[in-house]
Chain A
Amino acid sequence: MVKVVDQVTDPKRKRFNKNKKKAWRKKANITEVEERLEDQRREERYGGPLEERKDSEMMFVDLGGETEASQENQENTECFLEFTVDEIPETEGKIKLKPRKVKLKTPKLKSHQFLNGLPGAKPPHKQRKNKGTLTVAMKKKKELQSKDPKQIKKRKEAMKQMLGDIQKTTKRPKSVINSKYTTDLWEVGGDAVTQECKKKGLEESFIGSISDYYRRERRMKPVKVPKIRHVPTSKLDPVSIPHAGASYNPSQQSHQKLLLRAVKQEEKHLKKVGKIERATTKMFPTIDKAPTKESWLTEMSEGLPKAYEEEEEPEESVEECEEQEDEENLDQQQNGEENEETVAPQQNGEQGKQQATSSKAVVVSNDNVTVSSKPITERKTKKIRRKEKKQKLQKLKKIKEKEDRIRSSNIYKLKTYQKEIVKEELQEQKRSASRRAHKEHLKFIPRRLGNMKFEEEEIPVNLGDELADSLRTVVPAVELLEDRFKNLQRRNLLEPRLKHKLKRKYKPKVVLKRAHREELAKIEKMEFSD
């Protein structure tokens, strides 16, 4: 709530107690006294009050003519160069001057503002000389110097350099892209050293060794280049020659050929995709066709009597089962007896005639008859051992004889061996040739350079009805820039990889500008009113 003021009264003077000394000192108005005192002090600074001074102090007779002291003083005062150098004569002579267009400004020092009007007061520290300021003495000296031809030349060069520097900074290209091409890069002896040597008029025959020496001393020797440096990564042409059928107005024959090629590529691709499809998604049924519990149950109970039949013949089935079991038991017993008889002769066969006497270990239990397969062996007699040895020796002898016979007859097989050798060599040659061919082939295909595989793009082709009837209406079948990018990958200059995506730490905040918002609101209103 705001109060409404009816009357405006003068702010009252503040009152204070006068019964204490402290209040006198602090709160008494002493400005008048202070002013008076200040005046006095000022007068003192000017050399005392005027009434007390003598006339001779205040006035003097001007006789003309400068004193030395004053001259000195003048020399050190600053002055502005109101002229700039217009022309420097090439030979001796005076430098011509022209008036400056812009007046030079010397900013006033803030520290001096209180000293205004105080004669003889010196600045607290010496002012730095601005570029345009010179002392008179310096000016004189400069003028004298400017007549000296040596100085003229020096000055000229300095000027030139200065201008050059300025140009360099202003006209310097800002990036590699904008740089200018003013030299022949592949010129023989175009480097700085030989240029310098040529300028100095050295003999041609010396220049080579001198530049070598210079390079060696300055450690400017070229870096050792690896052998592989100039071997291209791929033997493919950078710009491959197009198929005749890719013409904008192709002959029927070539167009068909290209189409066929494209179709083949597509078929290959489809086959690949189909295989993956077959091996993954088609292997498994979809959810609606997948087996449920019920379908599983029906499938498993296929062929079994159904639920309503079960009630009629449960007893019969049990009886049948029992009968079957009985029969099986009987069979097993019979089999056991037969086994006894069959196993024995088998063992006999295995062990040989000598072991015919080996006994059988037959254990008869209450229920089953088991036969151990392990024979109980007896020691061989000496006779048997001798016989065995003899037989063995005979066998070895026979084998050796056979070998000898074969070896001696091999002499007549020389030709076949020769043939074999030749055949092998031929095969080796073939293999090495194919290996070489494979190696050569590798130079023409994209290699595996990174995590991603290079994917061949589709052959660009226009179908018969897509072909343009005139050059005006041709629409390119491929994005050329993309094609070039792929080409770089195909030639192994770049590894195929996913495109770099801009990552944002925060989601960008979308704000409607106020003006837009207002306008939008207006539009909405209009629609509403309609």
Chain B
Amino acid sequence: MGSKRKKKGESGEAKRYITRNAAVKKLQLSLRDFRRLCILKGIYPREPKNRRKAQKGDSTIKTLYYMKDIQFLLHEPIIWKFREHRAFSLKIKHAKAKKDRSKVQRMMQNKPMYRLDHIVRERYPTFTHALRDLDDPLTLCFLFSKLPQVQRTTLNMVNMCRRLTLEFMLYVIEAQALRKVFITIKGYYYQVEIMGQTITWITPHPFTPQTTTGVDFRIMRVFVEFYITLLGFTNFRLYHHLNLHYPPTLPHADIKEGGEDDVEMGDPERLASLNFPLKRNHVEDSNESETIDTHLLEEDETRLQEAREEEKKKKQQQNLFKGLKFFLNRETNIESLTFVIRACKGEVSWDESTADGNTFPVTDETITHEIVDRDNPKQTHLSRYYIQPQWVYDCINARMLLPVQDYFPGTSLPPHLSPFDLECHTYLPPEQKQLIARQKGEIPEDKLPLRQDSDSEEENERKKKKKLNDANIRPLDSFKTRTQKRKEKKRKLAQKEATKEQEKESKPTRTWEDVSREEEAMETQAAQNGKEEAPPEQNGKKAGTEEKPKQEKKMGVHRGKVQMINPHATEKQELEEKKLAIMMIPRKKKRVYHMLRRREKRKETGARRLTQKRLAIDHEKEKAKKAKKAGV
């Protein structure tokens, strides 16, 4: 009894794959319907390990699918709907040809329709799965919502995409979930955090015509069809999570209008303006102050501390624009700015003639910022800042209010840095250093840095009744050559400012309550423990160079005998220690050490070169300015 002889193509790789044509035949669908089904079900072609084996000896490149996937597709009830639709379309065609209008009408009323609920449920077994996969749907829907409305079919789709994306943005506003924004030459990148999942999407720049040529719209439409369903259900769940009405309604909207349809849609134009809070069921909220899972981090003290810090910063970001009133001029991207500002609890309005949904006029004296994207706008109000839109985005990324001076209209803007870029660079341009310092709280927030760019800016400053004496105190010192004395000076200054701040608080002109309060808290903390006790979070890798002065500072603060320590001596000692350590490295590892060291050196030299370059450029600029002044 010998075992049955094995035949070629009956097991292994050959049985694992099926060509597309074979699959189409097996499913008894047209190729179009098959492609559609595959996209809806999330089944994609695969590349085999050995093409010749998978294709039973044929080595031409064919599109292959997993056999098991296709077998799985066989059970899909939507296939029947496809077949039904095919029969329907044949019948309709027949009736139309016969000019049997009544029959066409009757049939159109009972047009077979498929739903994708069960597929969404099957593809995303839990809500978290759906959230995790929301990047692509959001991007595509945002894109489609900006498409020109040409055909009737696309019009439907475009409208629905617009509705769903607006709903999602409204949710983000209500949940204060926005974390990062980045304006690129591609479009606007937004990153939100919903239920612990980060979701990133892109929206196109406004008013940019889309003349796509290389896109197969038939396929894209199928994708969008599925994504619309997915987004609809996620929106529903997200709204209910926040006790919001779905579809979103404005409060008191249903009292005004009795009709059913109006209630359902709310007031579409006002809703679309993103500028009004939504109707919400008030349920007694349980105290959710502690959102960190403390029991997991209990053992690791530093990590817990870090998490707390992060949480605090998040709160700060969520309330970034609280109490601020923005007025948007007509040339700005109103939708994006409204979304972004409202997501950080700011108030927004614009001119009545620009768009629907404005809340206050230009003449409102309580407006704190007017966002302008022109070089020389008419600055009619003294009580507000006129700034360029980049300020808003930079503030959100920095999670703090940045000084306004750099963003006055007409000034050359500081670079719009990427919030996604977490690389540790050896060379940091002075602007970035300043930003990091500010984020750490080393520079008080409303103090002006020394940046005299143009004369017009100075004029602006005079207009704004700014205290420039604060600004002229000192230029920013570089990180490496920070010495003890400078440190001390700084600390003293900080304390002075703290007292000033407290005085300032009583003044009614500037009421940034939260900011000042936080600063106060920070100052007190600094007085107690030494200012920089909080763990450094961003450039932790460079801790080696920075920890030294910190420790010294700590000691200094505690005992008040700074002069006692001779920095040169300690430095020398450390150097010697380092030398010894290098000597002690075993021979095997020495090569690696040297390699690393060389790399480091290369980086350092690069950084040095860049700083020098920058210094030279700055120097030249200054010279030119002086010459200009002298000439004038």
Chain A residues near B (Cβ < 8 Å)? 169, 172-179, 181-186, 223-226, 228-229, 233, 237-239, 241-244, 246-254, 447-451, 460-462, 470-472, 474-485, 488, 492-495, 499-500
Contact = CB atoms under 8 A, between A and B. Distances in A.
Contact of B189 (A181, A242, A252, A254): A242
B413 A179 contact: no
B326 interface: no
Nearest to A450: B63
B47 A251 contact: no
Nearest to A185: B233
B115 A250 contact: no
B156 A178 contact: yes
B227 to A, nearest CB: 11
Contacts of B185: 246-248, 460-462, 474, 476-478
A371 to B, nearest CB: 57
Contacts of B135: 237-239
Interface in B395-429: 413, 415-418, 420-421, 425, 427, 429
Contacts of A485: 214-216, 220
Of A176, A179, A462, A477, most B-chain CB atoms within 10 Å: A176
B88 interface: no
B372 to A, nearest CB: 10
Contacts of A483: 186
B233 A181 contact: yes
B208 interface: yes
A470 B184 contact: no
B474 to A, nearest CB: 24
A244 B182 CA distance: 9
A177 B218 contact: no
19 contacts: A176-B116, A177-B160, A178-B160, A186-B121, A237-B135, A242-B189, A247-B418, A460-B186, A471-B183, A471-B332, A471-B373, A476-B186, A480-B204, A482-B214, A488-B223, A492-B46, A494-B219, A495-B45, A499-B214
Contact of B66 (A179, A228, A470): A228
A246 B186 contact: yes
B72 A223 contact: yes
B157 interface: yes
A330 B61 CA distance: 69
A251 B114 contact: no
Of A173, A251, A474, A481, most B-chain CB atoms within 10 Å: A481
Nearest to B120: A185
B247 to A, nearest CB: 8
Given A177-B225, A247-B182, A480 B202 contact: yes
Interface in B426-473: 427, 429, 431-432
A177 B230 CA distance: 11
A278 B420 CA distance: 43
A447 B47 contact: yes
A177 B153 CA distance: 10
Contacts of B390: 249, 471
Contacts of A448: 47, 61
A169 B225 CA distance: 23
B156 A175 contact: yes
Nearest to B219: A494
B201 to A, nearest CB: 6
A225 B121 CA distance: 13
A181 to B, nearest CB: 4
Contacts of A476: 185-187, 204-205, 208
A241 B69 contact: no
Contacts of A474: 183, 185, 205
Contact of B69 (A226, A239, A479, A500): A226
A451 B61 contact: yes
Given A249-B390, A470-B373, A177 B157 contact: yes
A349 B332 CA distance: 103
Interface stretch (B235-243, B309-317, B562-570): B235-243
Interface string B56-81: 00000111101011011001000000
Given A183-B236, A225-B72, A233-B46, 12 more contacts: A184-B233, A184-B236, A223-B72, A241-B189, A246-B418, A247-B183, A254-B415, A449-B46, A470-B374, A495-B45, A495-B63, A500-B218
B63 A449 contact: yes
Nearest to A228: B66
Given A251-B431, A477-B185, A181 B236 contact: yes
B92 to A, nearest CB: 14
B84 interface: no
A476 B203 CA distance: 11
Given A185-B117, A488-B223, A499 B216 contact: yes
A252 B415 CA distance: 8
Nearest to A483: B186
Nearest to A453: B61
B211 interface: yes
A122 B160 CA distance: 62
B596 to A, nearest CB: 21
Contacts of B235: 181
A224 B237 CA distance: 28
A450 B35 CA distance: 14
A472 B377 CA distance: 14
B23 interface: no
B395 to A, nearest CB: 15
A254 B416 CA distance: 11
B138 to A, nearest CB: 8
B528 interface: no
A497 to B, nearest CB: 8
Interface in B158-205: 160, 182-187, 189, 200-202, 204-205
Nearest to A233: B44
B1 to A, nearest CB: 34
Contacts of B229: 176, 179
Contacts of B136: 238-239, 484
B232 interface: yes
Given A476-B208, A499-B216, A484 B237 contact: no
Contacts of B214: 482, 485, 499
A2 B438 CA distance: 108
Of A472, A478, A495, most B-chain CB atoms within 10 Å: A472
A239 B132 CA distance: 12
A482 B240 contact: no
Nearest to B389: A471
A175 B373 CA distance: 43
Given A176-B116, A186-B130, A481 B111 contact: no
B284 interface: no
Contacts of B331: 472
A361 to B, nearest CB: 59
Contact of B186 (A184, A185, A449, A480): A480
Contacts of B429: 251-253
Given A176-B229, A182-B236, A500-B218, A481 B416 contact: no
